[in-house]
Amino acid sequence: MPHAPGSTLQPGSSTTQQRRQHFQPPETPPASDFQRQKYIAKLRRNSRLPTLRMEEKKERNQTLVDVQGQNSVSAETPIPLLTSYKLGKFQLSHRVVLAPLARQRSWNHVPQPHAILYYSQRTTKGGHLITEATGVSDTALGCPNVPGIWTKEQVEAWKPIVDAVHAKGGIFFCQIWHEGRVANTDFWPNGLAPISCTDKPLTPQIQSNGINLTQFPTPRRLTTDEIPQVVNDFRLAARNAMEAGFDGVEIHGAYGFLLDQFMKDEVNDRTDKYGGSLENRCRFPLEVVEAVVNEIGADKVGIRLSPYSTWAEARDSNPKALGIYMVESLNKYRLLYCHMFEPKRETVGEKCECPHSLFPMRKAFNGTFIVAGEYGREDGNRAVAEDRADLIAYGRWFLANPDLPTRFTLNAPLNKHNEETFYTPDPVLGYTDYPFLEDTE
């Protein structure tokens, strides 16, 4: 599976490479409560800089970087990102959101105890967190070690993670997801072909490291009669998320995955009621929204969209019209929020500025509007101050800085993320070992 836009891999240090070579994930997670506590305690010991070797601490300190232009706002001046916000019934203490980030550390698609520490590290009282993309069924996944929420075992595994976030006063939403044709047959039951709105496969693509080539199987076009079953998978996933204790769910309708495939006219070549016109192409995603809203309530439902994104060859000839149509349709369901991705990178290493591309959707949507897209401290503040967004979702900066709201408050330097460890299965390295500000002083 190709990585999301901008996920270029960087060479790791010799120390990092040595630790990766020695790590082998256990075949099964600790079973008893006692074993789990020992396991978590070990992760905690290994996850903070004071317990690392001195050379590793020196190496980490050398990765501290400043966000471009962040010094334009003083630490003493109240800044928009750090103001409170009412998200439906949830009172947020700031507007810095943990974006959903694929981490691929859920062995056998079951969330693991090390996720307790990972998410709790990034929790503040009144902070809003969104989980990594979480599969709605055994046919929703196309890459290794991503979590699911369709089995009882998975639901039970999520519970202590949710409890840890709630114990620190966080608001936690589960992002529910289906990959569609952006999948590998190796991860599908019995080697079946992945499903989509089309039978057109993705062309082989260079991975974000600029070297490896990803091949994609030919997908199977869903029949009209099969689509309600996929809608039902999302509904059941939402129900399971509430059973696990989550505060709500975010429907993943972005990044060229299944729902986005149906919406984009350069992918969707159907001639039935789910293809052709803009209304028809959006019918399936809106059926998912309706089913989830009916199951758990609109006040607990958000959605992520990326009308301008072209990742995984999911392009649309009129992304502005698509985005406006979707948010106007979502208004009918009174969704809690719409979370939109604003692309600022056409290819690896190339950034483009498009600060107002989402503004028409922001104006058209009646609920909370969250934006994401390589924001830093300064442009995040500006987006809130100019009323182009209510909340800003941070991905890689939050991944590498578990205390990101504190650093933004103090205008402190930020840890640089190590992209080589984004998707490794190590339960500590590149996951829970990023230093807090007090560890670097």
pLDDT value, residue 62? 46
pTM: 0.83
Residue of 114, 113, 102, 98 lying closest to 47 (CA atoms): 114
pLDDT value, residue 41? 52
DSSP string, 286-340: HHHHHHHHHHH-GGGEEEEE-TT--GGG---S-HHHHHHHHHHHHHTTT-SEEEE
What gap in Å lies between CA 262 and CA 182, rounded to an integer?
A: 13
What gap in Å lies between CA 100 and CA 46, rounded to an integer?
A: 24
Model confidence over 140-179: pLDDT tens digits? Answer: 988 889 999 999 999 999 999 999 999 999 999 999 999 9
What gap in Å lies between CA 13 and CA 418, rounded to an integer?
A: 10
User: Partners of 85 in the beta sheet?
Assistant: 92
Task: Write out residues in the chain with pLDDT < 50, as ranges.
Answer: 1-31, 36, 44, 46-75, 347-349, 355
Tokens in use for 229?
Answer: 């079953």
3 state DSSP class of 418: coil
Query: Which stretches of 190-322 are assigned E, i.e. beta strand?
Result: 195-196, 205-206, 213-214, 220-221, 248-253, 301-305
pLDDT value, residue 143? 85
